Amino acid sequence: MGGHRGFSKVVCWAQNFLAEFYNNESHKERPTVGRDLLKKTYRPSYLGMYEINCDAAVDASGGFIGIGIVNRNSTGLVLVSSSQRIDVTYIAQVVEMVATNRGLLFAKELDLTPCMLEFETVVVAKWIKDMSLWIRIVEASS
């Protein structure tokens, strides 16, 4: 009997919590999502290759950056992921490069090679091709 009553209390609490959450959230404005974003689907990498997806965000007020890494196999199955908080701030371009570097190191440590990179900015691709751009940005941010 006591177990059933305790379970009922937990269920009642969860229902009240969800109702309160829903009421608080339902009044907030939601950003609209463009059709192009909704149409985006996963495209598998070449057979036998792993895919590394890296992204980063800057919290200038908190003084840290956040990095996210997802490694998939050639069919799109997520094999491993990682998120990291680094207590430092850089400009957005440097943060993207740091995320890419961490993604490559993560794949190497787990022996997920050969691999291909997927990232959000063209800046990283330009830096990989021309390291002098990277050196200038690092010098400017220090």
CATH number at residue 104: 3.30.420.10
Based on the fold, state whether residues 91 and 58 are members of the same structural domain. Answer: yes
Q: How far apart are CA 40 and CA 18, in angstroms?
A: 31
Residue 116, phi-psi category: left (phi > 0), alpha (psi -120 to 50), beta (remainder) = beta
Strand pairing category for 115-118 and 50-59: parallel
**Dihedral (CA of 62, 84, 96, 80) sign:** negative
Based on the fold, state whether residues 69 and 134 are members of the same structural domain. Answer: yes
Based on the fold, state whether residues 43 and 74 are members of the same structural domain. Answer: yes
Q: Determine contact, residues 112/79, Cβ cutoff 8 Å.
A: yes
How many domains, the chain? 2
Give the pLDDT confidence score for residue 133 in this predicted structure.
63
Based on the fold, state whether residues 19 and 4 are members of the same structural domain. Answer: yes
pTM for this prediction: 0.57
Based on the fold, state whether residues 26 and 82 are members of the same structural domain. Answer: no
Q: Determine contact, residues 81/30, Cβ cutoff 8 Å.
A: no
Per-run averaged pLDDT (10 residues), the chain, 142 residues: 66 75 64 52 70 86 88 88 86 81 87 82 71 61 50
User: Domain span at residue 24?
Assistant: 1-30
Give the pLDDT confidence score for residue 69 in this predicted structure.
92
Note the pLDDT tens digit of each residue in 122-132.
767 777 777 67
Note the pLDDT tens digit of each residue in 30-58.
555 555 544 555 566 667 788 888 888 88
Based on the fold, state whether residues 58 and 14 are members of the same structural domain. Answer: no
Based on the fold, state whether residues 47 and 103 are members of the same structural domain. Answer: yes
